[in-house]
């Protein structure tokens, strides 16, 4: 690729990219591309889905490998659902697992009662029970689903799905591929290794033993030669940070966590668990390949090899501005209330936090069960840890927010580890970062580097919304809380 890091950090717009591809100077800096507004959507279909959470037998170590006992939402290991913006989802979750579960629609601005957090937003769906989720997603993009208690055990055995909401494209790409990254923690005989370990939970998290994309070993994907290929790259791992780059083709980031951005050249992009990017790649000529690579590991690791085939196309300039602008309510920064959150090792006592409850608050009476708490806490947000050990009382909210009010949150990492911080039910704007330079963008999960300070802004929506690190052992061992927005 013909771009160096400095040029990227200066935030070149798509027009510059197109010019560069056409051979002119990168220094002639045209005005940044403004993505057009999305026209209003009309109509929409209703999708009646059935998610049958159950134990199934699948081969994760290759077609000749042993069978593993997976827990999935369907007969497909990783269901991928595609709908159009304006469509309504009516999804029945039926639980045949030996423990309760739920569906959280990660990144989607759902009504609070559809958010899928057992005890806080809905009763847990017990074995033999079902629950109906019904909502109309307000934004297009690349999203995913997962359970919200014993997440390391349930997603560790397979419970996840990809949800794509189309309708952000002004011009369709020539191909659209999903690359969902997620490791398995399997022994050679196909049985599971422990999903949580004290060493992992108290540090960076416990890593899988088998690296996989879309549930299996990386595959070669066919793409149209010379075409525009949209890659939807999701980090669905419980622990691992990846840093994605493309080798062998021009590429630009066109969306982050499903939200369109002014396209900018992709050199590499660091993604913690739950983070997504949409990348537009100009496929090379017939017979050539490009690779999607994780450069974060000590050895670069290939997520996918894309082989270009079909007839050669006439050369055109690469113009990645194919999306409409993201339509997310923008915080009013002059009027925003500021709050600070420090992500640290556990320190405060749970009893101390519990004393903050008003005695007659109905939420204070919620007792979480064993699936939703661990025996100890290693982590905290503003010195408050999620419930642990004998204390199963729902902790008091991290903050009381006003619906419709703008907020700026300052997030501070007081640990030597990465924490991808996720806020439910909202799409926030990342205003500033102190370590890893990023353009301003909308997201639902942001990666806090060790010792980093980040500011995000959003307009609060009513409900009780979880706020946590998305390294699963970090949230399970304390780095999790919620806000009450009324
Ligand atoms: Cu994917 Cu509570 O989040
Ligand atoms: Cu974390």
Residue spans per domain, the chain: 46-166, 172-309, 337-485
User: What's the Cα-to-Cα distance from 425 to each of 117, 126, 234, 338, 411, rounded to whole Å?
Assistant: 11, 24, 19, 19, 18
Return the ligand 1 atom nearest residue 274 CA. 1
Q: How confident is the model at residue 153 (pLDDT cuts 50, 70, 90)?
A: very high
Q: What is the pLDDT of residue 350?
A: 64
Q: How far apart are CA 278 and CA 357, in angstroms?
A: 42
Lowest mean pLDDT among 136-150, 347-361, 432-446: 347-361
Q: How far apart are CA 386 and CA 394, in angstroms?
A: 8
Q: Which stretch of DSSP H or E encloses residue 9?
A: helix 5-9
Q: Which of 40, 458, 12 is nearest to 252 (CA)?
A: 12
Return the ligand 1 atom nearest residue 468 CA. 2
Encode pLDDT of 352-391 as tens digits. 777 778 888 999 999 999 999 999 999 999 999 999 999 9
**422 CA distance to ligand 1 middle (Å):** 7
**147 CA distance to ligand 1 middle (Å):** 8
pLDDT tops 90 at residue 348? no
For the Cβ of 16 lying below 6 angstroms from any atom of ligand 1, the answer is no
Which percentage of the chain shows pLDDT scores above 70? 92
Which fold does the domain 172-309 belong to in CATH?
Immunoglobulin-like (2.60.40)
Give the residue-averaged pLDDT of 263-283.
Answer: 97
- Residue 445, token pair as written in the block: 């999960």
pLDDT tops 50 at residue 189? yes
Q: What is the pLDDT of residue 34?
A: 87
pLDDT tops 70 at residue 277? yes
For the Cβ of 276 lying below 6 angstroms from any atom of ligand 1, the answer is no
Give the residue-averaged pLDDT of 130-147.
Answer: 98
**130 CA distance to ligand 2 middle (Å):** 31
**46-166 and 337-485 share one fold:** yes
User: What's the Cα-to-Cα distance from 148 to each of 124, 153, 214, 457, rounded to whole Å?
Assistant: 10, 10, 21, 25
The answer to pTM > 0.90 is yes
Q: How far apart are CA 277 and CA 322, in angstroms?
A: 15
**465 CA distance to ligand 2 middle (Å):** 18
The total of other beta-carbon atoms located within 10 Å of residue 27's CB is 8
Residue with CA nearest ligand 1 atom 1: 106
| CATH homologous superfamily for the domain 46-166 | Cupredoxins -  blue copper proteins (2.60.40.420)
CATH architecture of the domain formed by 337-485: Sandwich (2.60)
- Flag whether the ipTM exceeds 0.85: yes
For the Cβ of 106 lying below 6 angstroms from any atom of ligand 1, the answer is yes
pLDDT tops 70 at residue 465? yes
- Burial group, residue 194, by CB count within 10 angstroms (0-12, 13-18, 19+): exposed
């Amino acid at each position: 690729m013909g771009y160096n890091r400095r040029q990227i950090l200066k935030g070149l717009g798509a027009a510059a990219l197109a010019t560069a591809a056409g051979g002119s100077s990168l220094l002639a800096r045209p005005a940044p591309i403004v993505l057009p507004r999305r026209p209003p959507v009309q109509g929409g279909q209703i999708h009646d889905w059935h998610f049958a959470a159950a134990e199934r037998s699948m081969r994760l170590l290759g077609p000749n490998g042993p069978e593993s006992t997976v827990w999935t939402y369907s007969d497909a290991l990783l269901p991928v659902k595609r709908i159009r913006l304006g469509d309504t989802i009516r999804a029945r979750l039926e639980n045949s697992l030996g423990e309760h579960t739920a569906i959280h629609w990660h990144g989607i601005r759902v009504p609070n009662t559809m958010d899928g957090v057992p005890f806080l937003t809905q009763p847990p769906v017990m074995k033999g029970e079902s629950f109906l989720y019904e909502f109309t997603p307000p934004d297009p993009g690349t999203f995913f689903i997962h359970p919200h208690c014993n997440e390391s055990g349930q997603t560790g055995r397979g419970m996840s799905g990809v949800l794509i909401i189309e309708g952000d494209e002004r011009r369709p790409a020539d191909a659209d591929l999903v690359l969902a990254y997620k490791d398995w923690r399997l022994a050679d005989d196909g049985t599971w290794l422990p999903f949580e370990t004290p060493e992992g939970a108290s540090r960076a998290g416990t890593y899988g033993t088998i690296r996989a994309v879309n549930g299996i070993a990386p595959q070669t994907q066919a793409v149209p030669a010379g075409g525009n290929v949209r890659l939807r790259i999701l980090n669905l791992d419980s622990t691992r940070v990846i840093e994605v780059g493309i080798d062998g083709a021009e590429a630009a980031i066109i969306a982050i966590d499903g939200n369109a951005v002014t396209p900018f050249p992709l050199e590499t992009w660091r993604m913690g668990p739950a983070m997504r990017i949409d990348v537009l790649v100009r496929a090379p000529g017939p017979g050539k390949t490009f690779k999607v690579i994780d450069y974060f590991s000590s050895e670069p690791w290939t997520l996918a090899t894309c082989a270009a085939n079909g007839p050669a196309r006439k050369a055109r300039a690469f113009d990645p501005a194919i999306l409409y602008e993201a339509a997310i309510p923008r915080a009013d920064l002059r009027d925003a209330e500021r709050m600070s959150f420090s992500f640290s090792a556990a320190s405060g006592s749970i009893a101390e936090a519990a004393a903050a409850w008003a005695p007659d608050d109905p939420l204070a009476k919620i007792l979480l069960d064993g699936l939703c708490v661990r025996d100890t806490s290693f982590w905290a947000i503003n010195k408050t840890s999620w419930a642990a050990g004998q204390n199963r009382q729902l902790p008091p909210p991290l903050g009381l927010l006003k619906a419709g009010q703008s907020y700026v949150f300052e997030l501070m990492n007081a640990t030597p580890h990465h924490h991808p911080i996720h806020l439910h039910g909202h799409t926030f704007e990342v205003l500033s970062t102190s370590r890893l330079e990023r353009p301003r963008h909308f997201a639902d999960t942001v990666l806090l580097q060790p010792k980093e300070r980040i500011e995000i802004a959003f307009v609060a929506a009513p409900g009780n919304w979880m706020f946590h690190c998305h390294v699963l052992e970090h949230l399970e061992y304390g780095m999790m809380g919620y806000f009450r927005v009324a």
